[in-house]
Amino acid sequence: MVAAELRPIGIDLLYPTPSTQQLQEAFKGRSLRDLPSPAAVIDRAILEVNCYQMLENCQALDISLRPHTKTHKLQVGETTKDVKFVVSTIAEIEGLRETLLNKKLQGKQINILYGLPLPPSACTRLASLAKELGPQTISVLIDHVDQLNESERFLQLSGQPLQVFLKIDTGYHRAGLDSNSQGFSNLLTYVSSLQKSGSVNLVGLYSHAGHSYGSNSNNEALEFLLTELEELKKAAHKAITILNEAFFPKLTLSVGATPTASSIKALLEDVPSSRSDSVSKLQRLVSRINQDFTLELHAGVYPILDMQQLATQAMPLTTSDVALTILTEVNSLYPHRSPPEALIAAGSLALGREPCKSYPGFGIVSDWGFPPSVTTQGKRKEMRSGWQVGRISQEHGILTRDPEAFELEDGWPLDLEVGQKVRIWPNHACIAGAMFGFYLVVDSRLEGREDEVIDVWVRWRGW
């Protein structure tokens, strides 16, 4: 019975994906203008810069990075001794298997955190992965005592204790426990008993500042990070007091979200006086935390970015920093409407239905594929075409005027043609990307070949 349970139904059976080799044979070397759409396109040049910037941010604070899996090999770099990820699905861990085994052969320490509070149904697949990858390679989030009912089973299946992060709510109110609650104290007491029995190993505490998407400046994002650090430090000290066990290792405190993680770039720049207090407080706080705990930063969408991240203004960004675009085609024109509109074959199933606080639409059309100048009275800004996705339904997207594209309100012509390919920056890259089975990769550094597909990356789909 146990042997059968160690062969869980996983990604290979449930979620078949196209062959990478077949996709590369079909797409590599071809121009985006000649390809079927909608399609998801990633500019590797932009993505690499974003990944390296986050690694520099962490180096500036002398803390480690736990990326939320997006573009895994670029996110961890080549020189880091630890390879740590947080994932949203078990399918992502299964997709990472080969990469992780190779990193182990290189002498790297690996650890993957399943980023949702543990459901019982996940135990078998996670235990199978832990058995294959080795001790202390798979961690889980816990915010309820009943989630630990699977710890003994995990130990039996994998031969190792369940590695646990306690999920702390520091203001987002999506998941996690308030460190002042009785539930947090009860959970710690139960974890202590399971650690003594050998079925659980407490690794650390984890929080996610998803509410930092409401930031409107670098300083606001830094303040969100400061609050998260203070709250997690307080929770960790309370945990030590309740546990009061000499055998507990140095706890890891894992904090972050893309706006707060990006705001750290202020440490690498000449800081204006309005931000200097927050930057100094951050440096002092991180230094104090590092004395008692191991601090790590997690973030997800930063390699790709999107219109939501630009709206937070956590760091100076423009649309030229967004690596993902959705390639689509103009199906029809409506010049009789006032103002004129157009139809594209990309609605909620290609772009998602995520709003953005900075404008009332679902994506911004870039100036790719447009003439060098589409207006004689206005100056184009931020590589925007003058169109945005103003309305969407399932497969339909309605292009409407983008009032932020030009410095002047006049001189906005109907400059589209039926059959014209356009590229759109989505509001939420994670959701838009999930609509597609693979990404077409281009590289804007290749002069004269900027639109050529140089690679195809297959997504890990499913759960």
Spatial distance between the Cα atoms of 275 and 269, rounded to a whole number of angstroms: 11
Report the distance separating Cα 323 and Cα 441, nearest Å.
10
| 291's tokens | 């004395």
Q: Could you tell me the sign of the dihedral formed by the alpha carbons of 55, 57, 63, 67, in that order?
A: negative
The string of DSSP letters for 382-410 reads TTEEEEEEEEE-SS-EEEEE-TTSBSSSS
Which residues of the chain, if any, have pLDDT below 50? Answer: 1-4, 374-378, 408-409
How high is the pLDDT of residue 10? 63
Reported as a single tens digit per residue, the pLDDT across 168-227 is: 999 999 999 999 999 999 999 999 999 989 999 999 999 999 999 999 998 899 999 999
Closest alpha carbon to 324 in 302, 339, 346, 340: 302
Ramachandran category for residue 107: left, alpha or beta (phi over 0 → left; psi -120 to 50 → alpha)? left
Amino acid 375: pLDDT: 44
Q: Per the omega criterion (within 30 degrees of 0), is the bond before 38 cis?
A: yes
In angstroms, rounded to a whole number, what is the distance separating the alpha carbons of residues 385 and 195?
Answer: 59
How far apart (Å, rounded) are the C-alpha atoms in residues 18 and 405?
Answer: 38
So what's the pLDDT on residue 403? 82
DSSP 34: G
How many Å apart are CA 358 and CA 337, to the nearest integer?
25
Most distant CA pair in the chain, distance: 76
> What domains lie within the chain, and their CATH numbers?
62-305 (3.20.20.10), 319-458 (2.40.37.20)
- In this structure, are residues 366 and 423 in contact, taking their beta carbons and an 8 Å threshold? yes
Task: Say what the pTM is.
Answer: 0.92
16-64 pLDDT, tens per residue?
677 889 999 999 999 999 999 999 999 999 999 999 999 998 988 889 9
Is it true that the peptide bond before 339 is cis, omega within 30 degrees of 0?
Answer: yes
Q: How far apart are CA 216 and CA 220, in angstroms?
A: 6
Q: How many CA atoms lie within 13 A of 259 on its CB side?
A: 28
- Which residues, other chains included, contact 166 with Cβ-Cβ below 8 Å and sequence gap of 6+? 141, 142, 143, 177, 184, 187, 188, 191, 202, 204, 205, 206, 235, 239
**Residue 151 identity:** S
